[in-house]
Every structure is written in C-alpha cells, then in structure tokens.
Chain A
Amino acid sequence: MRRLVRQTIWSIWKMLISVKFAVIVIALLTLSLIVATVLESMYDTPTSQYFVYQSIYFYALLTVFGAIILFVALSRLPWQKKHAAFLTAHLGILILLYGSFLTFKLGIDGQLRVDEGMRESVVEINEPLLLIAGDEGVKTVEIGWRPPFVDFKPMVLQEHGITVDQFLSHADSKVSFLSSAKPGPMTGAIRARLYGGPKAPPFMRRGQEFWIWAKDPNWFGTQAGPAVVTWSSSINFKGKLERGPIIQFLADGEPGKLQWRSLGSEKNYKEGTIRIEKDGVLAQPIEIDLGWKIDARLQILETYFSADSRVDYSPSQIQFGTSAPSSAIHLTATGATEGVWLGLGERAELETSGKKIQLGYFPRRVTLPFAVELQKFQIDYYQGTKNPASFASQVNVIDTRDSQAPQNLWIRMNEPLKHGGFIFYQSSYIPGEPRPVTSIFSVNQDPGRFAKYLGSLLLVLGTILLFTERVRKRPKTSEVKPL
C-alpha cells in the first residue's frame, strides 16, 4: 500500500516536472485566452471575465502553471551555474504571478466621483453588494454578477428571512404609482395625456402620456409636448401664471377634487375643478379643453390623491456592451410572493416575520484615509469641433496626517495623482448643465506593482541569457536523423 502511494506521488511529481506537461498547460492557457477575447468581441468585457478571467477554472490553470514552474525549478536541485539563465527566467514568471496574486487579493481598483467644488473620499468598486441593516447592525452579502444568459439560483438568506430570487445583469426600470398606505397632502399623482385636436399641428396629434407626482422633486413637473405641466401648492396657485403654455394642478387640495388651471401662449387663462370618485385608473378618461389656439387637449387617465411610487425592473433591451444599464435584484421575504426590486444604488424596506429590515444594493465601497477636493474641471476641444481633445481636473488633497499633501494639482491623461499609496487617473466625467461637472477618477492601489516589475525584468533578462547560452550549444547536424 505504502509503495503504491509512493509510486503515485512519484509519477505525479514526474508529470509535474515534465516539460511536455508544461507545454500542455501553456497550450490550455493560450486556448482559454483565445476563447476569452472571442467572448469579449461577441458579448462584452464582463461576460469574458465571468467565463474566463475571473473564473475558478482560469485561476486553477494559473496556479498549476505557477506550480509547474516552481517544481521544475526545484527538480533541478542542487542548482549549478549552468542553471542561472533558466532559473532567472522562470523565477521571473513566478514573481510576476505572485505580483498578480497580490493585486488580485489586496489591490483596489475602483472609481471616485467628485462634483466640482466638493470633496469625496469614498471609492466605489465594481462589485455589487447587498447591504442588510437589522437589529444586529449592517451585514453585506456579495451578489455575484453573471451574464444575462446564465441562470441565477435564488439565494436564501436564512438568518435574515429573505430571499434574493431574481438577478438581472442589465435592467431597465419602470416607475408606476399606487395608492399610498399613509395618505397626506402634497403626495398626489396623475397620469394624463396631452394631445392635439383636429386643428392642432401634426406633431401634436399623437400626443404624449406622462406622470406627475407631487411628493418627489424629480416628478413634480414635466414637459409634455409644448406645455409645462406641474403641481403647485395653494400659495402659488393664487398667484398669476406668467408664461405659457403651462398647466398646473393644486397639490394640497381636498380629496376627490382636483383643481387645475392653464395658460396658453396667447395669454388665454382658464381654470376648473374635476370631481374624482376614487383613486386609480378612471373608467372614463376626463377631457379638458384648454382652449388654446393650437387646439391642445388634456386627457386625465389615472389619479391618486395620495400616491407611493413603485419601481419595477425588467431585462434591458440592451444586454451587452458599455451602453447596457446596470444590474438589479429582486428580494422577497422568504415564503412571500410579493417582493421588492432594487436597482444598483437603491435602498428599500422589507417586512419579514413582523420585523422591518433596511436593504441596500450598492457597489462595494472603500473609504480613503483622505479626501479629494475637485476645484475645477476643464475640457479642451479640438479646434473648431465639439470633440474633446483632453480633459483635466484641478484637485486638492485633504489629508489631516500629511501637511505636504498636494494642492492645486492638475490630473490629466498620463498625469496621475499619487498620494498615500493610491494613484488617481482621470478616467471620465459627467457634464452638468451648465455646471457643476462630476469628474470620475479611476483609483488604484496595487501592492503587487513592485513584484510585477521585478518579475518582468528577470523574465526578459533570463530569456535573453537562455538564448545567448543556447547559441554556444548549437546542435551538431550529423546527430539529426532523417524523419
């Protein structure tokens, strides 16, 4: 028995140190990389990362690759002078792999978004996390990203009594409104349609449907065709409308009565009140003739005296590439059917077995020991075009531990900021109208950097040595037999 074990170990060892096995591993590595680039071309970068670069299989292959090199080096013990070149080259690869491992384990590669005039110290890393805040404090659960065509197995989180039952890698959101459990003024919602009658210009005919919701500033008013439609509080509702075309609804009126007023572009003022029997979709849409010259008509379709919003997610039309939207998850209290959707960056509350827990779905965050303040963001364009030639951010580093922290430093392409072991590169920006602007830096901390450089140097040096050495050992042609 012992002999058998020893034999097996011996044959495995033999295999590991054989160059033929190395060739097979190199070939497998090469093939995996080819597959990865093809996947990236067919789908997108995250897909290729999921199947290859971040997969267990690929890490295993790299580990085997590293192990072979280590074992082959060890098998040549005791080392002699003639092994110098061989050892240098292979040690280089080992150090390079070690450096990559350090980066993978300890490195930080994220994004820092700073608005102009603001400071920020939280770096976001592209790794979606579910945050659960209960009585015991905040817990994080990793939600593994997967491409749209890979099935998601529901994650049952027993201790919290919730289940993550759906994952959409790229999700489109759709907002709808429903009766609020806690009614109150200034929370009404209306779904209506503005369209043109027979005398209206052709572009008005099809009309435009819209929601307005008094509770949220983002939904308070909207542009529908040529007109601005908004809610208004009773204080403003008494005042004079100044510039048309505009339509207003009273947001803090009585239940069952909806007051409106409008002003056309020809200063024709009109107002009225609609009786609403109950919340929800109206059995018969209510028509309001605004009396405008362009023959615009308003059709009230759905009303709530007091509404809550609800966001639903569905698989996006765009499933691949950088223009695809971010992911979303669906959670239910274990056993329940109705649940809640969370898009990336959103919070919600869920009731499970009588307890309320706060949920959040966010990218992983790392807080820097210092803050970056964006003073100014600048874009240079190519002469006479609107194509940006370059962009740059002027920043201050706010670091209480370091009085020498950089001030008024410009970060631009190829000119990163280095501070406290972190490197900040100008990555992109989000324009504001007209200002401020959000500047996006990619933030990087790479403990494997030194190892990678050292390994690279040794690898190249060793290879050169290896090849110059071989020259001296030119095979004698007489030794070669014909095929």
Chain B
Amino acid sequence: MIRSFFLSSLLTLTIVAAQAEPTRKTEFDFSGLEAIPVQVGGRLKPFESFAQDTVLGVTGRMSFKGWKSTELLLSWITSPKEWENERFILISRPDVKRQLGLAEAETRFSPKELLDQSSLIDYATSGAGQVGGGMSAQATPIAITSKPDPRNEELKRVINRVALYRAVILGQAWQVIPVTSPQPWLALREGDPANGVDFAAMPGAKVREKYFKIFSAYLYSDHVNFSGLVKDLDELVKTEMGSDWNSEASSSVGAEMWYQRVHPFQKAWILYLVAALLWAAAIWLKGKKLEKILTRSALAVTGIGFLLHISGMVVRSYVAGRPPVTNMYESIVWVAFGVVFFGLVLYYLQRNPILTAVSTTLGMLTLIVADAAPVVMDPGIHPLVPVLRSNMWLTIHVLTITISYAALALTMGIGNVALFQYLKGVHLTPTGMQKITTLNYLSYRAMQFGVVLLAAGTILGGVWADYSWGRFWGWDPKEVWALIALLGYLAVLHARYTGWMKAFGFAAWTVVSFALVVMAWYGVNFVLGVGLHSYGFSSGGQSTVAGFLVAQFAFVALVAIRVKSGSKRIKNA
C-alpha cells in the first residue's frame, strides 16, 4: 500500500492510525480555498475546478455522497487510510469487473481492492493502458483509427481513475505551486514516488509549506486557523505568480468561480421547466383572462433562463478561450440554446405559444441530459486538441451544423405534439384538423431553418476539410451522415411538396427523421467510431439513446395504428 505523501512529510506529527470511517467536517468554510488559483491540466483555474474535475475523474460523479469536492480532496490526502476501504472508484462495465475478479453487483470499488490488482497493474505497465499512446510509424493525427474496443476503453479509464486517485494522495496531482510562465507549475510532489521526499531540494517551499499547514489544520479539525491559513495562501500564491497574476488571469479565474458557483445551465433548465409549465398553462387557458398574464410571465421566465444559458456559454468560452462546441457536453448545451432560440424566433414570427412550450421543454430536457451523464459527457473545461485549434472555418462549420440539429429537434418536438393530438383523436373534427395543420406548418418552418443550416454546415465542413485536409469531400462517415440527414429531410420536404405525405405522414416523418440527426450527431462518434472525426470519439449512453429512438418509433407506430383504425371507423359510419 502506498503511504500518503502528506503523512510521510509531516514527520513531526504523530498520527493515530485510526481505521475510522471518513467523516465530513461541517464547521469548515472551503470557499476561500476553492477560489485559489491553481494550474492543472495546462490551464489556470480556481482550486474548485481542479477539485471537481478530479472528483469526477475518480468517482464518475460531480459530488460524492454529499462531500464537496474540495473537502473530498483534503480528506483523501490527509486520511488515505480511512478511505482505503471506501468504495468510490467507478467501474461501469460488468465485463471489466469480471476480468478484474470484482463483485459485479457493485459499481464502485475501494482503492485497496483496485491498487492490489495485479491484472490491472500488468495491463497498465504493458503500455496498452497508455491513453493517447505514442505515434506509430505511419500513423497520423488525422489517420483513420481502428474502432476502439469498449471493454479496453473502460479498462483504460479505470486505470486512469486509480492512477488519478494515487496521484492525489501522493501529492503529484496537486499542481498548485506557481512558477513563472511559460514553465508549468509544480506539484506538491514531483518525480517518482519510489524515491524519498526531499522537500528542501524542491522549489516552491513556501507555498508547499502553506498547503501542508492547511492540510494539518483540516486533519485536526482546526477550522479557525484553517481560514486564516487559506487567506495567507491566497496572498502568497498571487505574490509568487508575480506578473502572471494580471487582470486577465484574475478575471478568468473569477469568471470560472462564478461558473462553478452559479451552475448557470442547471439554473437555466429549472427556469425552462417553470417557463414550459407557464406556457402550457397559457395554452390551456386560451381566451381566458389569465392568458395574457401567463404569457407575459412565461416569456419573462424563458427570457431570464435564456440569458442565464447564454451567459453560461459566454463565460465558458471566455474561460476556455475558444468557442463552446468541442465536445459532446458543449454541443448539447449549444443545441439546447439553439432549440430555445429558434422557439423564440418562431414565436416572434408566428405568435404561437406551442412553439415556446415545446422549445423550453426540449431545452430543459437537453440540459438535463447534459448534466445527467458526466462520465460520458465530461463537463470539465479542457484545452483543445491541435487539429481543432484556432480555425475559423472549423468553428463556423461546427456551430452551423449543430445549430441545425437544434432546429430539427424543435421539428421533432412539434411533431410529437401533433402525433399526440392524433392519439387523442383531435384530427376527427375539422377544428382539430386545423390545429394539427397549424402544428405541421410550424414544424415545417422549423425544418426550413434546420435544412438550410444543415446544408450550409455540411458544405462549410467541406470548405474546412478542403482547407485543412486538401479535399472538399472524402466520404468520411461524419460527413456522410450529415449528408444522409440532409437527404432524409430533403426527401421529406419533396414528398410533402408532391402531396405524397399528408398531415399525419408529415408529423410522423418529422419525428422519425430525427433519428438521422441523432445518428449523425451521436451515432457516428459513439456507435460507428470510425473516420477522421476521431478526436470526438467516445463511448457510453448507447442504451439510453437506443431507448429514446425505440420509444419514438414505437410511439409513431402506435399513433399510426390508432389513426388507421380511426379513419376506418369513419368510413364504415
């Protein structure tokens, strides 16, 4: 078992090796520590972001059993013995658990169970576990990579989780000691853990000592001293940073603190939920006195939520120094923005509250999805891979194509509402049919936005590929799926134009066609896993997405059967 770096360093302290359960220390105020600048993962950020990324990286959760991530980090490094038998390291695939000889019923495992795993260590040292890996002779960063094996991928992630936890308790992960740029900051402990720790020889002794004092204050529950020490540390770090602590750095760290504290996307979806309910009420009470008040307040709540949503994205872009569409999490947030945006634009044009009701509902659901699976969609702010760096065409291409998904999602949402009307039998009366026709018209309008943007985005992708890879079009799966989605929607539009598709057909196809978008957006990266867009490849969530699609298809089929039997009844009567 590895000794804690911290324990081995505090030679003067006598520690009672109590095998107690780790407990939270509620009397502490961590807000000061959370705001201290650190530089982990090649980026200056507040301590809290580091803590949050680390806790997510180890446990697969944004917060573990109610522990604040900052406190969890302090507890891990000061009392690793107490955590030794706690189960908090995530392993999600049953076949990986089987391979490691672990209980399949559990989802999390203790450091003791995993650090003593010889098969895990073998795997890690064999080099297969290296993430990214070295570049082989003829490989290129844009080369077509072979399909990743999901079990191997999970095994790699497990190794990374264990390694990360190990690095936390050894102090290697704590890259908190400022060094003048462009040198990277130092960790509390540098180098090989097998070697002894010689602190005198390490630079950054002052900051390190402060951190040790903070650790011991936490360990001995000395919350009075703790706050004072944190204050000293804050000043010390900023003095040591010298000219690196300029207004830009401070506002970036400050902005990120705001982002972490406020959780703008979470607040936004709560507001969207309220707005959706208000819009629904306004539709329900159409023609009543209350309608006007409800509509106004719904619009106001949607607006506030939308502003919060936008400011979240702006702050995120500012902190990351790049547009916010470089991974699945960010693209989902961006699509949620697009859905609400198109809802508002179309509401302005059509004055139909169904649009905003649907768009706020979809915006809410999309943002919930983004927050629901942090392991699949990492919400952390990370630097970019080089292929994606500083390229205007790429940014425009990605923003355009993903915003088209938003418009098409709105189409799908309205289509579902229309299908629901059929299910209720609304279509059997002329006024009901008029209602459905209006819905279809609205989704047709949204589809127009979607198709234009999808076409433009796909072509812009060609422009970027031409600029970057030397060919406009290379039948790469991601390109092809964007084209498939475009052709699918074009087929729907043309079929509608010829009158081949009647009202029900159109509603049904708006819902079914969205499967193409899901495939182009999610499927290529998470299911097919081949092609040039490999930097976006990942795994996870397959069953959820498949479940969604199956539910949608089943719903369409169910409504189709109902409509068919309904129209028969009319004919017979």
Chain B residue nearest to A380 in the complex (CB): B386
Asked if B379 CB lies within 8 Å of chain A CBs, one says: no
Give the residue name and chain of the A residue nearest to B488 (CB).
Answer: A30
When C-beta atoms are compared, the residue in chain A nearest to B492 turns out to be: A23
A423 at the interface (CB under 8 A from B): yes
Measured CB to CB, the closest approach of chain A to B453, in angstroms, equals 9
Given contacts A452-B462, A463-B452, A464-B452, contact A480 B503 (CB under 8 A): yes
Task: Identify which of B143, B428, B434, B500 contacts A480 (C-beta below 8 A).
Answer: B434
CB-CB under 8 A from B327, the residues of chain A are none
* Residue among B138, B428, B433, B563 with most chain A CB within 10 A: B138
Chain A residues contacting B140 (CB-CB under 8 Å) are 427-429, 440
Q: Is the CB of B427 within 8 A of A109?
A: no
Residues of A within 8 A of B99 (CB): none
- The distance in angstroms between the C-alpha atoms of A178 and B471, with both chains bound, is 48
Contact present for A383 and B487 (CB under 8 Å): no
CB-CB under 8 A from A45, the residues of chain B are 144, 530
Contact digits for A1-36, partner B, Cβ 8 Å, 1 yes 0 no: 000000000000000001110110011011001101
Instruction: Give the distance in Å from the alpha carbon of A5 to the alpha carbon of B184 in the complex.
Output: 81
Task: Tell me, in angstroms, the Cα distance from A277 to B484 when the chains sit together.
Answer: 71
Is the C-beta of A376 less than 8 angstroms from some C-beta in chain B?
Answer: no
A382: shortest Cβ distance to chain B, in Å?
A: 8
Which of B463, B480, B494 interacts with A37 by CB under 8 Å?
B480
Q: Is the Cβ of B433 less than 8 Å from the Cβ of A480?
A: yes
Interface residues of A in 376-425 (CB under 8 A from B): 383-390, 413-414, 416, 423, 425
Are A460 and B456 within 8 A (Cβ)?
yes
Within 8 A of B (CB), among A423-466: 423, 425, 427-431, 440, 442-444, 446, 448-449, 452-453, 456, 459-460, 463-464
The answer for the CA separation of A416 and B464 in the assembled complex, in Å, is 13
Complex interface bits, B464-501 against A, C-beta within 8 A gives 1, otherwise 0: 00111111110101001101100110110011011010
**Using an 8 Å CB-CB cutoff, how does the interface string of A180-222 with B read, 1 for contact, 0 for none?**
0000000000000000000000000000000000000000000
Cβ-neighbour of B500 out of A20, A475, A477 (below 8 A): A20
By a CB distance below 8 angstroms, the chain A residues around B502 are: 483
- Partner of B494 from the list A22, A464, A475 (CB cut-off 8 Å) is A22
Q: For the complex, is B430 an interface residue (Cβ under 8 Å from A)?
A: yes
> In the complex, A305→B490 CA distance in Å?
73
Q: Are B146 and A41 in contact (CB under 8 A)?
A: no
Given contacts A41-B528, A383-B184, A452-B472, contact A460 B466 (CB under 8 A): no
Q: A283 → chain B, closest Cβ, in Å?
A: 42
For chains A and B in complex, what number of residue pairs have CB atoms within 8 angstroms?
163
Contact A413 B433 (CB under 8 A): no
Q: Which residue of A lies closest to B457 (CB)?
A: A460
Is B15 positioned at the interface, with any CB of A under 8 Å from its CB? no
CB distance from A50 to the nearest CB of B (A): 12
Segment of B128-136, B232-240, B308-316 engaged in the interface with chain A? B128-136
Contact indicator A30/B473 (Cβ below 8 Å) = no
Contact with B433, one of A389, A448, A471, A482 (Cβ below 8 angstroms): A482
Q: Complex Cα distance A41/B503, Å?
A: 37
Distance of A414 Cα from B387 Cα, bound (Å): 8
B441 at interface by CB-CB < 8 Å: yes
Asked if residues A459 and B386 are in contact (CB atoms below 8 Å), the reply is no
Contact at B133–A387, with CB atoms within 8 Å?
Answer: yes
B146:A460 contact, CB within 8 angstroms:
no
Contact B468 A414 (CB under 8 A): yes
Say if the beta carbon of B438 comes within 8 Å of chain A. yes
Residue of A whose beta carbon sits closest to that of B135: A388
CA–CA, A481 to B432, complex, Å?
11
B residues in contact with A452, CB < 8 Å: 462, 472-473
In the assembled complex, which residues on chain B have CB atoms less than 8 Å from the CB atom of A153? none
CA distance A442 to B138 in the complex (A): 13
Q: A428-B140, A460-B456, A477-B434 are in contact. Are A23 and B441 (CB under 8 A)?
A: no
Residues of A within 8 A of B30 (CB): none
Q: Determine the chain B residues whose CB is within 8 A of the CB of A478 once the complex forms.
A: 434
Asked if residues B475 and A53 are in contact (CB atoms below 8 Å), the reply is yes
Q: Answer whether residue A316 sits at the interface, using C-beta atoms and an 8 A cutoff.
A: no
| Interface contact B473-A456, CB-CB below 8 Å | no
Q: Separation in Å of the B550 CB from the closest CB of chain A?
A: 18
Interface centre among A30, A38, A448, A481 (most CB of B within 10 A): A30
CA distance A396 to B376 in the complex (A): 46
Minimal beta-carbon separation of A240 from chain B (angstroms): 38
Q: Tell me if A41 and B459 are in contact (CB < 8 A).
A: no
Instruction: Considering the complex, give the chain A residue whose CB is closest to the CB of B459.
Output: A456
On whether A456 and B462 interact (CB within 8 A), knowing A416-B470, A464-B452, the answer reads yes
| A40 engages B531 (CB within 8 Å) | yes
For B462, the chain A residues whose CB sits under 8 A away are 452, 456
Task: Say yes or no for B429: interface residue by CB 8 A criterion.
Answer: yes
Q: Which 10 pairs, one residue from A and one from B, show the smallest C-beta to C-beta distance? A: A428-B140, A444-B470, A41-B528, A467-B448, A482-B433, A456-B459, A19-B498, A26-B491, A425-B470, A30-B487
| 28 cross-chain CB contacts under 8 A | A19-B497, A23-B500, A29-B487, A30-B491, A36-B475, A37-B480, A37-B528, A40-B531, A41-B477, A44-B144, A45-B144, A48-B475, A322-B139, A383-B184, A387-B134, A388-B135, A389-B386, A425-B470, A428-B138, A430-B138, A440-B138, A440-B140, A459-B459, A463-B452, A480-B434, A480-B503, A483-B563, A483-B567
14 more CB-based (< 8 A) A-B contacts, given A99-B472, A430-B137, A446-B471:
A30-B491, A41-B530, A44-B144, A383-B184, A388-B135, A413-B386, A427-B140, A430-B138, A440-B140, A452-B473, A459-B455, A460-B459, A470-B448, A482-B428
